[in-house]
Each structure stands twice: as C-alpha cells, then as structure tokens.
Amino acid sequence: MTHSAPSSQPVTGLILSGGGARAAYQVGVLAAIADLLPNAEHNPFPVIVGTSAGAINAVSLACGALHFGEAVRRLTEVWQGFHTHQVYRSDWSGVLHQATRFIGHSLLGLGAQVPVALLDSSPLSKLLERELDFSGIAAAVRRRRLRAVAVTAFGYETGQAVTFYQGRATIDPWFRHRRVGVPTRLALQHLLASASIPLVFPPVRINREYFGDGAVRQSAPISPALHLGASRVLVIGVSGNPQGEDANSAVVRPHDVKPPTLAQIGGHMLNSTFIDSLEGDIELLERINQLSRLVPPEERPRGGGLKPVEVLVISPSQPVDEIAARHRHELPAALRLFLRGPGATRASGAGVLSYLLFESGYCNELIELGYQDAMAQKLELNEFLNLSLPPVLQAAPAPA
C-alpha cells in the first residue's frame, strides 16, 4: 500500500522549437504519436514547452490535454487549412501600408511609440483567440493530466529569455544568467510575444516590457522542461538538415562566386536563431549524460544534476528549404512582389520563405513528412513513451 513506485516513473517532457511555418512538421509528428497511443485520451507529455510557433502548438496541446488525440486532431485541421492571410496581412493594401510604416519608422523616425515590423500579424491574434480555450490548461492541471506548460519570450529591455509557465503550485520559479522562469496564467499575449520574429512581426507588451521571439536569447532550450520536472524529453525539431547528416561529411563548393542576397543572409540568421541553439543544447546534454554515466550512482551528489536525461530527437529527414522552394508559387501576389527584391522568391532564398509560407500545400507536405519521420522511429517512440504497457496503466494519472 505505497505510492513510491509511480513517483519513480520518468516524467516525459515535450520540446517544440520555433520556426514559423516550419512548425507544421511538428503537427505531423504529434499526429503519428496520437495514432500510436493505446489510449487516445491519454496525454503522454506531463510537461510541454514551446518557443515561437512551437509555443502555439504547445499551448494548443495543453488546452486540450484532457483528450490528447482530439487536441492533435484540431491542431492538424488548423494547419492543414492554413493560408498566409490568417497569420499576417498579405493583401496589397495591408502589405503596402505596413511597408510604408516600416520605412517611415526606420528611416524618418515617424510613429516611434508604435511597435512596427515588416509584417502585420494582427490576423494571428484573431485566429488564436477563436481556436484556443485557455481554461483547458487549468482543468488539465487540476485533474493531473498535465504538470506544466511553458512558453519562452525574449525581453527587449532586460535581454532575458523569460519562460512563462502555468502548472502545479509546487513548481518553483528559477533564475539563471539571462534566463528566468515566471509562473503565470498563460494568455494570448504570451503566445503572440513568443512568436514575434524580430523585425518580421511586431513585439508584444506584457506588463512593463516588450517581448519578442523566445528563440533569440534562448541558449538552453531544453532547460525549462527540466526545471518543470521532466526527467526525459522528446524534442521535435524543425532543422533543415536531414537526420544523421554530418556537417563535416561534405563541403559545398560553389561554381561561381556571387554576393549573397538579403534573403540568403536572413535565412542564415533565422536558422542560427531557431535551430543552432537547440542542436547545440542537445549536443551539450548528450555530453553531460556521457559524463554522468562514468560516475557510479552511489557517488553522485544528491541534487547535483548528474542524473542522465534521456533525449529522443525527431527532425526532418528532408531539407525544409527545398520543400519551401517547391511551393513558393503559393505565396500571395503582394508578398511575392514584396519579397522578390530581397531574393526570397528564388531557390537560393527559400530559407526565409520556409518560415513565412503559411499555405496549405507547403504545410501539408511538412505534416506528412513529420508523420512519416515519426513512424520511421516507431520502435524508439514505443520504447521512449512506454507504449508497450497495458492501456489501463497508460491512462492512469500519477497519484498525488
């Protein structure tokens, strides 16, 4: 008659990284996981952490954590039917007005008190307000179907990566160099702030500070999940590098030397923001795991952080930039004209396009790729999530 056994079970965290429209890939992976679950209602991720567009997916799952399969289905339907105008103004008047404001603000200092960016993301606010029921988070926490959900945003004034989290009252806030965890009741502005790519989307004010995309200064993307109690993490990345590709295995030698376009430069900057820190954090965690395994369990200091953290990574098996290039014709006419000058409509500028192309053809191909990549790792997922256990054990929440 003891509860010690369940408390020793691992707590699984889900990490959903940023990446604009690339986050459609995450939906495909989640759909595969939902199909693999013995019990579709059961939420296999007590801890859910997201950044940028991944924050939107994360909170969507948390709002529906009382029925994981249904939450994934609704999320999939939204992404499958996406159009750019649902995320930002892509009509002629909207694009021209925002471009005029941006130039006037940047070059002439006009309207300096109004947050400005290249694109007007007000449609995204309306979409999220219509689709999300934030009360589902509190209900899931109360019924122990969810331990915590968190989104990370970047404070422009303090320069800190702030993780806003909602969960059990026993979770303490944390304070590290340039990154803090703040308990709060998550709301629409936290998602909009986390998804506000610098210069592309306007910053969002929360209390006394303006915030932007959390990936900007998030040096340790996995850390929030561990602070929230996760002992193992599933990371769904959006890297453009195929799985298992060795960065040193091949050297690309250009046939001719041309100056990089603005879109090429922007693509590399976005990749360094959304992808490099996550991949570097995974590599660091794996090295720490190797080190901790060298220390006998009885010699590990209690609370010293040397316990290995199991990590499973699922990321695109095909270059996402190439997929975006195949769908660049889906971009609305006003955006094609607006992005033609910087080179984003060329194949070489598809890196930027892969973040901004919220169109159904592109999103659906990423969803299908995510589903297939997850099913290709079916055995690893079954073992990682303990899906071989009887469904009754999978569905039962851990006792208090």
**Active site (annotated) includes residue 52:** yes
Which residue do the tokens 């990936």 mark? 215
Pick the closest to residue 201 from 133, 153, 265, 268 (CA basis).
153
User: Which among 120, 213, 281, 321 is annotated as catalytic?
Assistant: 213
**Active site (annotated) includes residue 213:** yes
Structural contact between residues 384 and 37, judged by C-beta atoms closer than 8 angstroms:
no
CA distance 72 to 334: 32
Pick the closest to residue 359 from 335, 390, 394 (CA basis).
335
The count of other CB atoms within 10 Å of the CB of residue 8 is 7
* Non-local CB neighbours of 257 within 8 Å, separated by 6+ positions: none
> CA separation (Å) from 103 to 97, 98, 111?
10, 9, 11
Kind plus residue range of the DSSP H or E element containing 324 = helix 320-326
Pick the closest to residue 358 from 65, 53, 61 (CA basis).
53
User: Which among 52, 194, 223, 277 is annotated as catalytic?
Assistant: 52
For 4: left if phi > 0, alpha if psi spans -120 to 50, otherwise beta; the answer is alpha
CA distance 241 to 219: 20
Structural contact between residues 49 and 13, judged by C-beta atoms closer than 8 angstroms:
yes
Tell me, what amino acid is at 200? V
Residues with a known catalytic role: 52, 213
